[in-house]
Each structure stands twice: as structure tokens, then as C-alpha cells.
Amino acid sequence: MNRPAPLRPKNKTLAAWLALAGGQLGLHRMYLFGVGDGLAWLHPALATLGWWGVYRVRTYGQDDLLSWLLIPLLGFTLAATALAAIFYGLTGFEKWNTRFNAAAPQSPAGHTSWLTIGAVVFALLIGSIALTSSLAFSFQRYFEYQVEEGRKISQ
């Protein structure tokens, strides 16, 4: 998909940190592609559904079937935005400037700094925790549900 060249250079470090810190709100996509980006608005919608699942667990307990379907959306959203931060942070200078800074191909905004590497490291940490936690929660609830249904059948 060809997008028009941005007027101002897009900073790779800022994009990585926005993905990490504000990824659930889609801030990184709004920064890079503008507020009209559909995926930017999908992030808060999925994260809100996930947080609603957390609320349901706290309100109705772990036996709430809808909550264990919603909570992984939160974990997957966190993992996806962490992956985006890693992707942005590890994108090469030339490729970054070609994609986001076409009007200024030698812009220093595409350089990697220690802050960029810090965003990648934290993204690896947060993304792996979010992904494994949401998978563990989902599988645990699924197998507990299967055991409960098996007990009902055997009685």
C-alpha cells in the first residue's frame, strides 16, 4: 500500500516507545500513519474488550466463561504492540527513511540510539510476559472447563 510521504520526519525511537507505552491506544500507528489509520483504532477496541474481561473476572470470578474469552485479547494486543516496537526498533536506517521519511532520505530521525535499543529490550520483556500469560490463562480455563463438562457427563 503506497502512502503519501509525511511532511515531518518520523523518529524511529519515538515510534518504538509509543508502540511500547501507548500501543493499546494505537498511538504508534497514529504517529506513523495519521489518525485516519483503521488499525490505529482497532488497538483500543481490542484492548478495551480485554480490560472488560479483566473486570468480569474481578466481578464474577474465574468461572465466568466470557472473561476467559476476552482476557487473551488484552494479552495479544500487548504482545502485538511489543512486536511492533521490536520491528520499529530493529528496522535499518535506510529502510526506515525510505518508508517513513521519503522526503528526507538522510534524516537522522531514522538512526538507532541506545533509547531505541532500550525500547526493544523492554518490548521483548513485556511482550513475552503478555503472550505467555494470556496463553496460560486461556489454556488453564479451557482445560478446567473441559474437566467440569466431563464431570457433568459422567454423573
Confidence of residue 7 (pLDDT cuts 50, 70, 90): low
DSSP SS3 for 111 = coil
Give how far the C-alpha of residue 58 lies from the chain's centroid of Cα atoms, to the nearest Å: 23
Query: How many of the other CB atoms lie within 10 Å of CB of 57?
Result: 19
Residue 141: how many CB atoms within 10 A of its CB?
A: 20
The pLDDT tens digits for 34-61 are: 889 899 999 999 999 999 999 998 999 8
Hey, where are the domains in the chain? 12-154
Note the pLDDT tens digit of each residue in 94-130.
888 888 888 777 778 778 889 999 999 999 999 999 8
| DSSP structural state of residue 109 | G
Predicted pLDDT at 97: 85
Nearest to 39 by CA among 25, 22, 51, 21: 25
Task: Convert the pLDDT of each residue in 129-149 to its tens digit.
Answer: 988 988 888 888 888 888 888
Report which DSSP code applies to 43: H
152's CB contacts (< 8 A; 6+ apart) are: none
